[in-house]
Structure 1
């Protein structure tokens, strides 16, 4: 038994022990006191939407707040103790009373007095803006067409980045190479505040995910089956990242600093100021981070003509990176009137890295050692992104008739320079890859209430995206000076324009709710590719699509927060621009990625049937799903061999392994996605996700390739396969005392097998701890990611003439400590008095659904 097997067994047992201990701890459950009450005026009439703040006199961290409903009633859970109760409402005087909470029950009605009708100057007197400082919400919430995850209670990712947060989101999985998937599919569409964003770079790479600090994330919307109001891209679903934007009156903010290993340092600040009709915010910071990527590939090449012609190539690769990232966002909101506001914001992000790579090749025939070589690389990468957003929001009345207009201008560029030294013929490569992206996104959304329970929504959106690629590859050997490698030197332009219209109607008949929608998207794609090698040139290509995407949502409410959900949507998977550029990559002359200009979109029909029950202490959301995808994008792997006239391999060091995306066959996914969170006691909380799914992949094709002498070779690629797999995650948060908590998180991903690839299962366990200090104004957090260093991907890939065993670990075990300081939380400043609809801010979320 080798060391890896021992670690895996130990990890499995530790993960099982985590579940057992967590379950055992439930037996010691202790509950908070459920408190209810009512706010009334002097005539004993209910006061709706009043803010009620319970301030614990002994411990600030036990304080909580709530809004009354339309009947003036409220309910919340409090730890027993002595509280100052502050009540505030529009046109009423502020009231403060003291009460002792000993246990659950109704504390009765609290009466508040109206403001004076006039002042000395005869003007009507109005109260200042109401501030609500509510306790942390549930980490997971189910809505009709999305699920919302609040990372504020995620201790494990504190001081980390967006990639760390996504690793803990239910229904979402992050592979060791940074690839994000939902329910086993990696075709996920990312949005920032409802829009595609330059913050995530051109191709949503792992580097971009690492450059957004976790502390700047307000919440993440997981949209597994988006409605017609959302863009149709992303067959796996949409992840909408909502960044923080405080609504508190006055000046407030927070600063967080992080130190960790592998070496990392981060310092980020979130500052907000609200006075009168103006609100502004400033978020920014930067950091340094080192990373280490390790991979091993053992390739076994054979020849169908000669059974004893076998060559083994062992590749050991290690890449170390040093990354610096900086980001800053500034914005302002101006309330022109009570019904109209305008906003503007600007964002800049930089990401710089240095990469050091070393690859060892060993070639072995059947008997004796044959050949060894070494490849070393040094690369630099510089990314710079700008984004400007402008918007106007107008309320026609107080019944919900709204119009929202927005414009987003984005530009990002990426410069990559790589120097490669290879012992093969003393080979040297100099690679310069530059990419520039320009985007314009404009949209309009309109909402019209109809009656008491119906609403009509309509909108238009246009996206114009242009990517310019410039790729220069130069090469020298012992027999030739440095000169352009023509087949891989090119300029390319990829431009796509999408026009979208949607119409959506939602209503309710008794306990039955429904939402019907349709979206029409007109797509135009233009590709121009010019290579130094005339043989590689392709004619300018234009692709046009016009597709309708319907969506149907049904819900039946048995009781409040207890409902059945049934929905259907149709989605599109547009190929990434990078996939459609011929020969886009040449970082390794033995492992080459080829683009495919003939790649087309694939389409998916998605069905979900779910049940959701949400109570004070728990939320359970099991969902059965089925997804059928046609013209699925698959990665074809093939090899070009140097052979003699009999087909025998004569030069193993010249073997080229190519990867190319193609449209082929179908892919069916079906399964049960179970999400839950449970506040078992006042000191023990659980957040879990289990995804059990079956898959049935169909597709095989004959493809033509060529040997080193240019002779055509035909082979078969077989992607057929079916099976069953699982993914599971459980987080246990234990509150030791009023100021200290720790969190243990276990993750498991089952293996998957097709005729093309056999991917092994994977495990990981992480730990986090959090301590509140400075009377609630500070938080000290510590975490260890992947305690047992087992988060690595292992797979076996089969081609017509080779078998590849692979191991890849994107990041080894890491730990970090972070310190957060919050100042002037919820403080007020003197300002012109202004009436405000506090109900619209009750959840701290004024985001429009992305179109």
Structure 2
């Protein structure tokens, strides 16, 4: 792709959408005048960081607010009119005066009086003023989670959610886009505390790449979620908090990115806050190309082929062109000081074209060497909608709250693939359509008990329906195009979860505790109808019911402020993915086939953590010892069979098919030390690191059907047992050259793991990023290189009864990008809502919770 084509894609596909979003700015324009003033106490001394609110007597939409600086001064652009001016500051009495503002200039000094005994204020109601500046610590430890702030992550600027997750402590992203925490890929994703249509179409790398890094405010890493959270996700929960500005007036930013492999992105974040209304509008789109390379070398030790095949080399390269767009809009309206309602909507599209080539090289024992080629062209079209509605009510100012929410989601995915196989004169046409519909309803209630305790309770219902339609047609030189019956089916997967939770938290001296229990009633219905001529496999109706209790216990002991011990235990569940349970969910390569397993059941994990956290001005240290015991673990069984036709007869000439199938088997124990730290070594040098030293002990073996050297069916044993020790490590170093320029180096390493079934090799990668602030702080220019030495690839050796497979896979080669961010109307960040000084308060997003600190 030449430079002209890249520029055309950038302008035609993304620039227009962002201009539409940015045009909203003109709707907020008013003729305003610039005013200034000061806030002083009775001794005429300046009062810093006081909240000054201008409430327009005619229209609340014209109201605005400001925050005084360290000299007690403030400036504001405001529409002329009659205003009630409210001044508030911690340890001072609230003051209200009325002024008519007609012209620009100073309105003079506003005086406030101190509280009668500000030093003796007990737990009670205060008017909170929240001052937010750039955090010096990108990583923060709390009782039940760890929070990562990506704003200082230079390497990911201009990237997407997948790029950001690659830098989050305790989180790893494999070369195929699979996200894992502490070595387990059973991670539950939430957006603002709820499952989201942004990730609802697919759970792979495509979904992660559709969320721009610029829209992410923070990521909560919850390795041991409490009973308040849904119990699925044995590895833990990643809660992605998207930006929602608290700044008054109109604020926003626009970011554009150009990169190679060719990529273009343009995104806008717009916010408007006036009076009782808060609006936001975020969206954008982009174009991206990707290149996936994989190699499999299969060595057969007893192949039952006429020509005695002893080796099959498979080389695959897939290139894709992707377009994605997303837009979110919402409003929050404060009905009263204690009650507010909110509504938001999200739409996301993802389209791709995929070009693939698979080369097979066969090395027989008797006959000459020969090759085969399988070329693929596929299109993918995804569309998702989501609507969220909520109501929040405070019964009083002591923390008794009720929250109601409803989320309606729908997504659909159309996938069409055309495959040509040269040596067998085969042509396959595959059409895969999936429609997902989800309804989530929640009720959460909080009741403070005394000064140090809180009771929480809630109910949640999830109804999730997936409709699958899979048509596979095949033609040969001797057979016209017709359905490949074992792989043509319609299926409906429906799951309904009802959950109730109750938890209590309190504190006795320096000891904090939280105990809770969650009860989940699960119902799964699968209706599978296939064209398979085998009556036992052409129609399956299955219903599964589960009722499980999931307790959680948290303990903390405070030695001093920001210095504490943490101990917790939780029980979790790993529910099979829906497409894992469809008997034949995937057919894209007639020699490498993925089989579903309708008999797959959930697995369960008991998780323990014992950690220590200390946070000082220059550093934060957080070592955590952990142990996880998982039963009925889901493992991937790889086996070989002789290919058969629709009637079950062995194909002549004989052909070997390699199958992969998920099964429940044995136990899996993980234990280790997860050590996270950040250190501001000097004013110009900072480090952020994560080291996970872990051991594993896997048990389980099973029988499976295969064939002997004469082609006769036999049973063999797959042994998954293995134990050992490995390492994962990440280190980022940020160097600040001056106030406007910084650069960052980041290294990643994952040690190898070995079992009797598979030997996975180690992997490492190094990234680079640079950032320059321009336009007096309103702009940022960033540059980054992902995988400088092109080493991020996955290598493994897998052993079966009649073969050994060496595998290599690289999801993306080295790539680089440059991005430009522009921010406008950056107002002061102010909250006027009443808050309570409560050691239990820690509300961040939906479904979030605090804990004894």
Structure 1 residues 31-84: Cα deviation after superposition (integer angstroms, max 9, x where no partner): 999999999953899999956999999999999999999999999999999999
Could you say what secondary structure the match of 1:515 adopts? strand
The alpha-carbon deviation at position 713 of structure 1 amounts to 2.3
* Structure-2 change in CA distance of 1:410 and 1:478 (3 Å): same
In 2, distance between residues paired with 1:745 and 1:542? 48
* Structure-2 change in CA distance of 1:64 and 1:813 (3 Å): farther
Q: 1:62-73 alignment to 2 at 5 Å?
A: none
* Structure-2 change in CA distance of 1:87 and 1:692 (3 Å): farther
Does the aligned pair in 2 maintain the 1:7–1:788 contact within 8 Å? Answer: no
Does the aligned pair in 1 maintain the 2:128–2:831 contact within 8 Å? Answer: no
Q: Which residue of 1 aligns with 2:324?
A: 325
The alpha-carbon deviation at position 589 of structure 1 amounts to 0.4
In 2, distance between residues paired with 1:819 and 1:757? 45
The alpha-carbon deviation at position 116 of structure 1 amounts to 18
In 2, distance between residues paired with 1:677 and 1:17? 39
* Structure-2 change in CA distance of 1:30 and 1:842 (3 Å): farther
The alpha-carbon deviation at position 827 of structure 1 amounts to 6.0
The alpha-carbon deviation at position 652 of structure 1 amounts to 8.1
Does the aligned pair in 2 maintain the 1:518–1:549 contact within 8 Å? Answer: yes
Structure 1 residues 642-669: Cα deviation after superposition (integer angstroms, max 9, x where no partner): 6999999997872100000000000000
Q: Which residue of 2 aligns with 1:194?
A: 193
* Structure-2 change in CA distance of 1:57 and 1:733 (3 Å): farther
Does the aligned pair in 2 maintain the 1:11–1:764 contact within 8 Å? Answer: no
Is 2:823 the counterpart of 1:835? Answer: no
Structure 1 residues 467-493: Cα deviation after superposition (integer angstroms, max 9, x where no partner): 000000000000011111100000000
Does the aligned pair in 2 maintain the 1:30–1:681 contact within 8 Å? Answer: no
Q: Which residue of 1 aligns with 2:89?
A: 89
Could you say what secondary structure the match of 1:9 adopts? helix
* Structure-2 change in CA distance of 1:394 and 1:294 (3 Å): same
The alpha-carbon deviation at position 418 of structure 1 amounts to 0.2
Does the aligned pair in 2 maintain the 1:609–1:623 contact within 8 Å? Answer: yes
Does the aligned pair in 1 maintain the 2:65–2:248 contact within 8 Å? Answer: no
The alpha-carbon deviation at position 534 of structure 1 amounts to 3.9
Structure 1 residues 179-229: Cα deviation after superposition (integer angstroms, max 9, x where no partner): 000000000000111111111134411100001111111110000000000
Structure 1 unaligned segments of length 5 or more: list them: none
Does the aligned pair in 1 maintain the 2:247–2:830 contact within 8 Å? Answer: no
Does the aligned pair in 1 maintain the 2:89–2:127 contact within 8 Å? Answer: no
Structure 1 residues 355-381: Cα deviation after superposition (integer angstroms, max 9, x where no partner): 000010000024664321000000000
The alpha-carbon deviation at position 683 of structure 1 amounts to 1.2
- Backbone CA RMSD of aligned residues: 10.8
Does the aligned pair in 1 maintain the 2:261–2:288 contact within 8 Å? Answer: yes
Instruction: Pick which of 61-70 and 827-836 moved more.
Output: 61-70
Could you say what secondary structure the match of 1:648 adopts? coil
In 2, distance between residues paired with 1:61 and 1:530? 58
* Structure-2 change in CA distance of 1:517 and 1:834 (3 Å): closer
Structure 1 residues 430-470: Cα deviation after superposition (integer angstroms, max 9, x where no partner): 00000000000000111111111100000000000000000
Does the aligned pair in 1 maintain the 2:373–2:422 contact within 8 Å? Answer: yes
In 2, distance between residues paired with 1:448 and 1:565? 24
Does the aligned pair in 2 maintain the 1:840–1:846 contact within 8 Å? Answer: no
Instruction: Pick which of 767-776 and 1-10 moved more.
Output: 1-10
Structure 1 residues 391-427: Cα deviation after superposition (integer angstroms, max 9, x where no partner): 0000111111111100000000000000000013210
In 2, distance between residues paired with 1:772 and 1:561? 32
The alpha-carbon deviation at position 712 of structure 1 amounts to 3.5
Normalising to structure 2: TM-score of the pair? Answer: 0.84
* Structure-2 change in CA distance of 1:398 and 1:834 (3 Å): closer
In 2, distance between residues paired with 1:24 and 1:411? 27
In 1, distance between residues paired with 2:721 and 2:284? 48
The alpha-carbon deviation at position 132 of structure 1 amounts to 3.8
* Structure-2 change in CA distance of 1:143 and 1:28 (3 Å): farther
Does the aligned pair in 2 maintain the 1:276–1:832 contact within 8 Å? Answer: no
Instruction: Pick which of 44-53 and 200-209 moved more.
Output: 44-53
Could you say what secondary structure the match of 2:147 adopts? strand
In 2, distance between residues paired with 1:289 and 1:617? 39
The alpha-carbon deviation at position 30 of structure 1 amounts to 46
Instruction: Pick which of 185-194 and 64-73 moved more.
Output: 64-73
Instruction: Pick which of 721-730 and 129-138 moved more.
Output: 129-138
In 1, distance between residues paired with 2:269 and 2:21? 38
In 1, distance between residues paired with 2:8 and 2:284? 38
Could you say what secondary structure the match of 1:164 adopts? helix
In 2, distance between residues paired with 1:804 and 1:145? 42
The alpha-carbon deviation at position 614 of structure 1 amounts to 1.1
Structure 1 residues 310-342: Cα deviation after superposition (integer angstroms, max 9, x where no partner): 510001110000000000000000000000000
Normalising to structure 1: TM-score of the pair? Answer: 0.84
The alpha-carbon deviation at position 708 of structure 1 amounts to 13
The alpha-carbon deviation at position 86 of structure 1 amounts to 16
The alpha-carbon deviation at position 273 of structure 1 amounts to 0.2
The alpha-carbon deviation at position 301 of structure 1 amounts to 1.1
Q: Which residue of 2 aligns with 1:454?
A: 453
